[in-house]
Structure 1
Amino acid sequence: MPQGKTIDTHAHILSDETMRLIAKEAPTISPKITPIDDEMSVLEVAGVPYRPFPRGGWNLEKRLADMDFAGVDMQVLSNTPQTFLYNVDASLTATLAALQNDQIAATVKQVPDRFMGIATLPMQAPEKAAAELTRAMRTLGLKGAQIGSNVNGRNLDDPALEPLWAAANELSAFVMIHPMLVAGADRLKSYYLGNLIGNPLDSTIAAASLVFGGVVTRFPRIRFLFVHGGGFVPYQFGRWIHGWKVRPEPQVHLKESPEAALKTLWFDTILHAKEPLEYLVASAGASRVVLGSDYPYDMGTLECVRQVRALSISDADKSRILGVGPLTLVGGAFARSAA
């Protein structure tokens, strides 16, 4: 893998071929795009329409042009969260996850100097998820997996998920946690709050579950990345550490302060403002912050590289965020402490 390149760790894809193959296997739930104009379509999955889906989400030529504009040398490709499909038959989800992973691997093989990839998994069936992660990494050459912040409402410290964490630990996998089915959705229906507040909220719940549930401590070789700047996690480090000291509940599964576990988490740069991003770098450390764009969605940004370069931090720290850190996170070389 090349040194010195800018690497976007958070970029989604849903290719034409993937949609065609899913439609062949499961026509009633397959994703479909309905054009709005030359650059935008509406994405529909299982008959449910989602927000506009830009052309770069499925068109490789447009994606590469956007990467060039953004100054991104490589993307780590992951599926669109709408195709996690944790709420359908587990065997079908496993089949469709394997299909999506095969297509991501094919795209990486097609343009290996611009793309790496991570898998999607049938999380409602942890044994199947573990098997697919192993196949994706050992056979397809993918670097890890993207999973939802919960599994049909179950937090990620659920004991049923232990087989997956054991496999991910053995593989030293990179695991990107992406929000979905967010908590409090009934109160977040207005003003796009389901995304603006719900996404960072559910990422925070996922991180807390993994930390206080002892998953991060028991499986130290997994590299957990929390997108959208890690939700509210970096701004509540102190509260979590204090709460563990003074309350018995946080100590049920975590017998030592969460401080050590928190220091192992990774966060992407998608905060859309200089000041909070600089705070994230100061609190988590530049070696735990990595470039992310959330491509191709409107809540992402093509300014991600320029935003990092505009920060009031050292050039060395900028290089860590843009390339060194992503390469450590995704590249497969296990590193517990800062690069």
Structure 2
Amino acid sequence: MYDFHTHFIPADVLTWLKDNQRTVNAKWIKKEQNKDDFLVVNEKWGFELKRAFIDPSTYLAAQEQAGVSHSVLSPIPQLFMYDFPDEITADISTVYNRSLTDLCKATPERLSALGTVPLANPVKAAEVLQEAMQMGLKGVIIGPGLDGRMLSDEFFTPFFEEANRLKAIVFIHPLLCEDPRLKRRMMPNLIGVPWETTVCATDLLLSGMVDQYPEVKILFAHGGGFLPYQIGRLDKGFEQWDLVSSKLKAKPSEYVKRFWYDTVLWNQDSLDFLIRTVGEERVVPGSDYPFDLCVWPPCGKQETAVRSLLD
């Protein structure tokens, strides 16, 4: 069984955080006696720094116990660092990508990885993507955009042109939604995270980028958010409004089959619906391990989808 959605923080990245603690405002906070420290960077989205995040032996033992034969590791979204100057983001990207490469080379039969890029500088992001794939990484994980910029904006053209040339996997992972209505009852994580994916995925679909960059393998986290469930509404809009249909060669329900999605849904009926909507060859196993809301072990083998994404 593969796991396409799982996160890890190598030792060199932790060293970088400690060396640059003041620059990025990194804090290790003890919240409860029976839990590990929480890591908070720049007063944003904190999380418990569990041993499985940072210790390879702990991670690999959990992988074996869960029956996962191969994991595709990703950097954690809290360390994308998009809100810092380019040199900071580029520096941690280089450290993260090299250390993940070393980790995968040590156990290639059990691990491969995606890198991270300084997305706020798309030209530099394209260079870092090329370097990452030359080192052996499968592609990169990125956020759903930047403040005031959607991924379909021309601003990101240099990055997507290079990803298209390299036939890279681009795993789009949400960040916490800043909607002030959600600042209660864990709603930023419960519905804000899939909502960010929904907005990004819908915009990419309607923008015509799938035709513009047909070789980019776009993978959406958490089953694509709410997009698959609302695809009928997009199809109706396609029939109704030129603003929806003008950049598309087919209706949205056809384009939704040209992305990939993970199985992090926690509900078999939802997963079954996703597979019926986009096809089994587009849904890959994922867990989000070792975050709190992980599906562990991941659901299903989805061997057809694994081959279609990796090939």
Per the TM superposition, whether the score is higher than 0.5 is yes
Who is 1:72 aligned against? Answer: 68
Residue 115 (structure 1) aligned with residue 95 (structure 2): no
Residue number among 47, 58, 83 corresponding to 2:79 in the alignment: 83
- What displacement does 1:265 show? 0.9
- Is 1:325 the counterpart of 2:281? The answer is no
CA offset digits 1:105-124 (Å, max 9, x no partner): 11111211111011101111
| Residues 176 and 189 in structure 2, CA contact (< 8 A), matched pair in contact too | no
> Which of 2, 7, 18 is the equivalent residue of 1:7?
2
CA distance in 2, matches of 1:289, 1:102: 28
Looking at structure 2, the residues matched to 119 and 246 of structure 1 have their Cα atoms a distance apart, in angstroms, of 40
Kept in 2: contact 1:77–1:117 (CA 8 A): yes
Q: Choose the corresponding residue for 1:155, options 147, 150, 163.
A: 150
Q: Following superposition of structure 1 onto structure 2, how do residues 205-284 of structure 1 map, counting pairs within 5 Å?
A: 205-284=199-278
Cα distance in 2, alignment partners of residues 279 and 270 from structure 1 = 13
Pairing 1:35-74 to 2, within 5 Å after superposition: 40-48=36-44, 50-74=46-70
Letter in 2 for 1:102: R
Contact 2:264 2:287 (8 Å CA) reproduced: yes
TM-score w.r.t. the length of structure 1 is: 0.86
Match of 1:3 in 2: none
Aligned partner of 1:236: which letter?
A: Q
Q: Distance in 2 between the 1:193 and 1:48 partners?
A: 15
Match of 1:174 among 150, 159, 169: 169
Aligned Cα root-mean-square deviation (Å): 1.9
2:123 equivalent to 1:127: yes
Check whether the contact 2:282–2:308 (CA below 8 A) recurs between aligned residues. Answer: no
Per-residue CA shift, 1:145-168, capped at 9, x if unaligned?
100012124211111001111100
Q: Deviations over 1:6-33 (max 9, x none)?
A: 1100011112321103433564216554
Contact kept in structure 1, 2:175 and 2:196, CA below 8 Å: yes
Q: Normalising to structure 2: TM-score of the pair?
A: 0.93
User: CA 1:30–1:102 in structure 2 vs 1: closer, same or farther (change >3 Å)?
Assistant: farther
Secondary structure at the residue paired with 2:218? strand
Work out which structure has the larger RCO, using CA pairs closer than 8 Å and 6 or more positions apart in sequence: 1
> What is the rounded CA distance, in whole Å, between the counterparts of 2:281 and 2:75 in structure 1?
26
Secondary structure of 1:197's counterpart equals helix
CA contact (8 A) 2:73 2:114 kept: yes
Percent of aligned pairs with the same residue? 33
Distance 1:12 1:31, change over 3 A: farther
Is it true that 1:290 corresponds to 2:284 in the alignment? yes
Aligned to 1:313: none
Instruction: Quickly say closer, same or farther: Cα 1:225–1:156, change in 2 above 3 A.
Output: same
> Structure 2: any 5+ residue segments left out of the alignment?
none
Does the 8 A contact of 2:82 with 2:118 survive in 1? yes
C-alpha distance after superposition, 1:303-324 (max 9, x if no partner)? 32xx43xxxxxxxxxx4x1x44
CA displacement, residues 86-127 of structure 1 (integer Å, 9 cap, x when unaligned): 111012211211111111111111211111011101111000
Does the CA contact (< 8 Å) of 1:270 and 1:300 recur in 2? yes
- Call closer, same or farther: CA 1:109–1:30 in 2, change over 3 Å: farther
Aligned to 2:194: 200
Aligned-pair CA distance for 1:264: 0.5
Q: Which amino acid counterpart does residue 44 of structure 1 have in structure 2?
A: V
The CA distance in 2 between the partners of 1:90 and 1:113, in whole Å, is 34
Question: Can you list the C-alpha shifts for 1:282-307, whole angstroms capped at 9, x where unaligned?
Answer: 21111111100101101112132xx4
Deviating more after overlay: 236-245 vs 26-35: 26-35
1:51 positional shift: 2.8
* CA distance, structure 2, for counterparts of residue 62 and residue 53 of structure 1: 13
Q: Distance in 2 between matches of 1:37 and 1:325?
A: 42
